[in-house]
Structure 1
Amino acid sequence: MNRVIDRTGFAEIPATCAESALQRAFDRHDLALAPAALAAIFDPEGVISWKATGEPRRDGRPVTRGSVFRIASMTKSFLAAAALELRDRGEFDLDRPIDAYVPGVRFDFAGEAVPVTVRQLLTNRSGLPEDNAWADRLLGADPGAIDALGAAGLRLTAEPDDRYQYSNLGMSYVGRAIEAVTGHAVEDEITERLLEPLGLAHTRFEPAAYSADRTLAAGFRTFDGGRSFLDEPYVGAGALSCIGGLFSTVDDVARWAAFLQSAFSDAPLHPEVLSARSRREMQRISTAIPLDAEPSAEPQLPKLQAIGYGMGLVVEQDRRFGRIVQHAGGLPGFSSHMRWHVPSGCGVVAFGNSDVFGAGGLATRALAEVLEAVDAPSEHLPPWPETLDAGKRIDDAVRTGEPLDGLAGLFSANVMHDLPAAVREQRLVHARSDAGPVSLRQQPFEERVLAPRGPAELRWRIACARGSLVCEIRLVGLRGPLVQSLAIECRDVGAAAGGSTI
């Protein structure tokens, strides 16, 4: 595979592949937990395939691709983007204490008042404790009541910057700060700065904003595994709407995800709306989340190396596929989830109109299925030209038997001191002996490059008669990069490489 060198040729995902992935995910999910479910697989161009079951209002009308569901805490990504847009304009300072924008709010830790910044609130490391159950019912709270809570003093369970704790109340103060800066309701700012210029015509804060011909999923709750359902009226709009109030469709969420993901491409979408740099900042871990703190609905999916909170988004580092960005949403009556694979732009959005539906499990499985099916790249990390040149020179030397210490100007001074040339050559002789003679007919160098580890690192394979030699180099980031470490080892002994040998 040549994807290590050039990701631009990543193949489109066939509709049949997306359909199969959705079907497998639906087959393994407990669909009885919600009256209706809707999910879609998308790429940077939009929705590839969608699948739905049930009746969103339990009135005989089926779910359609355009059905509207409440997306709850997925709203936080829009709030974060609005805050960063103001920051980029020089109108908002993320590192100022929040009380500089929202006077009167006080935070106490261990009996003392401590400052808490906008950034700490936005990245869930303010020290405020998790408050989901409490906040879910206060979405429509009066701003004055929330102000009174802040003035009375909010108790922290950790010192600011110490650890991850998900706080809806804390992030709602970011919304209040935006209102202080702009003089307008934060919901209006999100609509005017993001929803309208991006063409997200079906993403709104109020049910009344939709036309009569648009189906809005009603909310429901079940306490007996889906054998019966109770109506759950929409939680109202108020002081906490900015952290969970939005409604949307699968197509609008796919467009939003494409806008955010494109920040990692050579042609970011709509840079006039929000800079690519700020979008990348949203999708970069700011606060580490312990791996056991947020288990996925299905623990075997995904297999993570790391997880953390960015800004309004959760960032996962999958062992196989690299960076995946996601956020869940849950309110009484609704469950939602969006996630996308940064290197390929492939993603999934899932909705269910019951808070116990577990949309995250459905979306996680669907994305894993489609990424596996298309052998998606793990990361877009093209090596420096100097890294490739160094690899090619070392590759030629190893294949022809040229002494490595004769490669002038390639290595930093430490390389031949860390492992003397005579010792290195002796080890290489043993490795060649185990792997067998080097094959004359090698694939082009770029096609022998293995999984990427960064622009200054490179791994590649040299085919031999009984196995292969795997070479790995790491360069130091000087103006003229030099190879600071080199390792060559025998792998896959016993697998015939074929071809003529030297």
Structure 2
Amino acid sequence: MTTPAEAGRAALAARLDEPTLRRAPASIAAVVHDGAIVAVSAHGEPRRDGATTTPDTIFRIASMSKSFLGATALSLRDEGLLDLHAPATDYVPGLASARFGAERVGLTLDALLSNRGGLTEDNAWGDEHLGESRAHMAAVVSDGLALSTRSGTDYQYSNLGISLVGRAIEAVTGRPVEDVIRERMLDPLGLRDTRAAADLYAAGADLAAGFRTFDDGASFTPEPYVGSGALACIGSLFSTVSDIAAWMQFLVSAFDDDPADDVLRAASRREMQTARTLMPTSPWQSTGRVLDGAGYGYGLVVEHDRRFGRIVQHAGGLPGFSSHMRWQAATGVGVVVFGNSDSFGAGTIAGDLLADVLTRLDAPAAIVRPWPETVDAARRIDELVRTGRPLSEASALLARNVLHDVPEPVRERRLAEALAKTGPVRTDAAPFAARILAAPDRSALRWSVPCERGALVCDVHLVGLRAPIVQEVEIQVAEAGGRKPVDETARVTDHHRVILD
């Protein structure tokens, strides 16, 4: 079986070619698993002074900072100090002047943090204002903000909007938001190389300088660090691949069977990684990855990949830097990519790298442990199908709608028609557990019944009462591969790994 380290080394060798690497004076890409770097590739000179890039080189991570802000806001929410659904004017009075046309709007921190506040996309403007003073930005907000869409309805990436969550944190703590993030997240997690400004590092620290290129890496010009001011909470952090690997593990561990609640409750970490604002997926389709959906959570982007399930990610970009982190919730396998040029394209590189690694691992899209009642009901129905007995013999397991929705004579006729195509059920079938095909979630199970000229695909779906009972049973002819019903389209559930407890 291929290990994450083996898959990571192979993917790095395949993906980091010369045309990619030439777009930044220095770059690093790491494949991580369970918080540890299992494969890494470092290139170039971070300051173009002869010193080479190492895994300890510190890069600016820009908007990846938003995940730290989101986690800090939720920690304050959990303690009752911040209400994400209260009027944002409770914390930032200047927002009272925000308008959609002539309409006064009621913004919430929830809407701002999940990029549906109605404030327009502002990446170019936000980069230039990262270092502005709090007094200046307070005056800008109080002077009036014009919303381009109705608040709470549409996704628009607003640096200014998310920065106002930082102002709310300062209002309830009486401290600079950067200090609150450090005290609540960075220090407790031991992220010692992650800081909010370059001058917080010791003299001689291995800090990557920023550069820009306008000729695809043929030449570079130095780009001074954008300042760390009122908008710093949304894009100012510097970090290393090791610290980000640990941060990713802290977040993805919320999906473990028995996750710890240290630093931030697991439920709150899952909130961060749950889509809250619908995002258009057309840009993703051009990359070759097929998504069933995507959305912005709290400081993180959530993709629902048709092959690999929940992928959580965030990019970072400032003049002179490009960064990206992404991971798969099911396995904890992820990648971190940094480059010290805004033309590097860390997001595309990271997306291709993770897809390559997960493909080499044949990673499951999710791991599902069905309810015992689901398995018991499926076993009983499998027995009835294989022995040619009516479903009504399992009536104690069925909700009353099952035999009403499809009357037993109709169900028996349909099964006979299916068997006419597949031939009789074989008597030498493998044990039930070996014939399980998929489980969308704990309440449902799909398995196969081998026949002389093909197979049947059986599905059972329970309703989650105190004692779960069957609400749907379906038996269909399998396609040639024997794993899906004829003409069923590809689904992410085809790649779920089922574990029977």
Counting only pairs closer than 5 Å after superposition, residues 165-244 of structure 1 correspond to structure 2 as 165-244=156-235
Shift in Å at residue 25 of structure 1?
Answer: 1.8
Q: TM (normalized to structure 2)?
A: 0.93
Say whether the 8 Å CA contact 1:66–1:214 is kept in structure 2: no
Say whether the 8 Å CA contact 2:28–2:337 is kept in structure 1: yes
Q: Distance in 2 between matches of 1:148 and 1:312?
A: 25
Counterpart check, 1:489 vs 2:476? yes
Counting only pairs closer than 5 Å after superposition, residues 301-380 of structure 1 correspond to structure 2 as 301-380=288-367
Counterpart check, 1:93 vs 2:83? yes
Q: Distance in 2 between matches of 1:450 and 1:166?
A: 40
Tell me the residue number matched to 1:6.
Answer: none
Counterpart check, 1:109 vs 2:100? yes
Shift in Å at residue 12 of structure 1?
Answer: 7.9
Letter in 1 for 2:140: L
Shift in Å at residue 218 of structure 1?
Answer: 0.6
Shift in Å at residue 461 of structure 1?
Answer: 1.2
Unaligned runs of 5+ in 2: 483-501
Counting only pairs closer than 5 Å after superposition, residues 39-438 of structure 1 correspond to structure 2 as 39-105=29-95, 106-269=97-260, 271-292=261-282, 295-296=283-284, 299-438=286-425
Say whether the 8 Å CA contact 1:41–1:348 is kept in structure 2: yes
What whole-Å deviation, never above 9, does each CA across 1:286-309 have from its counterpart, x for those lacking one? 0000112xx24x823421110000
Shift in Å at residue 213 of structure 1?
Answer: 4.8
Letter in 1 for 2:206: T
What whole-Å deviation, never above 9, does each CA across 1:246-273 have from its counterpart, x for those lacking one? 000111101000000001112324x230
Letter in 1 for 2:192: A
Shift in Å at residue 312 of structure 1?
Answer: 0.2
Deviates more, 1:310-319 or 1:377-386: 377-386
Q: Distance in 2 between matches of 1:260 and 1:368?
A: 20
Say whether the 8 Å CA contact 1:328–1:338 is kept in structure 2: yes
Shift in Å at residue 350 of structure 1?
Answer: 0.3
Q: Distance in 1 between matches of 2:362 and 2:451?
A: 26
Letter in 2 for 1:231: P
State the secondary structure of the residue aligned to 1:396: helix
Q: Distance in 1 between matches of 2:33 and 2:160?
A: 33
Q: TM (normalized to structure 1)?
A: 0.93
Of the three residues 437, 455, 464, the one matched with 1:477 is 464
State the secondary structure of the residue aligned to 1:484: strand
Tell me the residue number matched to 2:446.
Answer: 459
Say whether the 8 Å CA contact 2:317–2:323 is kept in structure 1: yes
Q: Distance in 1 between matches of 2:63 and 2:132?
A: 16
State the secondary structure of the residue aligned to 1:115: coil
- TM-aligned CA distance change 1:388 to 1:116, over 3 Å: same
Q: Distance in 1 between matches of 2:42 and 2:455?
A: 48
Identity among equivalent positions (%) equals 53
What whole-Å deviation, never above 9, does each CA across 1:218-269 have from its counterpart, x for those lacking one? 1000111111111000001100000000000111101000000001112324
Letter in 2 for 1:59: D
Q: Distance in 2 between matches of 1:379 and 1:173?
A: 35
Say whether the 8 Å CA contact 2:35–2:248 is kept in structure 1: no
State the secondary structure of the residue aligned to 2:71: helix
What whole-Å deviation, never above 9, does each CA across 1:430-480 have from its counterpart, x for those lacking one? 222322232333333233222321222211112223221100122222222
Say whether the 8 Å CA contact 1:466–1:493 is kept in structure 2: no
Counterpart check, 1:26 vs 2:13? no
State the secondary structure of the residue aligned to 2:349: helix
Q: Distance in 1 between matches of 2:477 and 2:254?
A: 39
Tell me the residue number matched to 2:434.
Answer: 447
Say whether the 8 Å CA contact 1:379–1:452 is kept in structure 2: no
Q: Distance in 2 between matches of 1:28 and 1:345?
A: 29
Q: Distance in 2 between matches of 1:378 and 1:400?
A: 34
Q: Distance in 1 between matches of 2:169 and 2:2?
A: 40
State the secondary structure of the residue aligned to 1:489: strand
- TM-aligned CA distance change 1:29 to 1:81, over 3 Å: farther
What whole-Å deviation, never above 9, does each CA across 1:330-381 have from its counterpart, x for those lacking one? 0000000000000100000101111111101111111001111111111133
Q: What is the count of residue pairs matched by the alignment?
A: 481
State the secondary structure of the residue aligned to 1:284: coil
Q: Distance in 1 between matches of 2:481 and 2:213?
A: 58
Letter in 2 for 1:401: G
Q: Distance in 2 between matches of 1:350 and 1:444?
A: 45
Say whether the 8 Å CA contact 1:339–1:349 is kept in structure 2: yes
State the secondary structure of the residue aligned to 2:47: coil
Unaligned runs of 5+ in 1: 1-10, 496-502
Tell me the residue number matched to 2:497.
Answer: none
Of the three residues 468, 484, 497, the one matched with 2:455 is 468
Shift in Å at residue 14 of structure 1?
Answer: 4.0
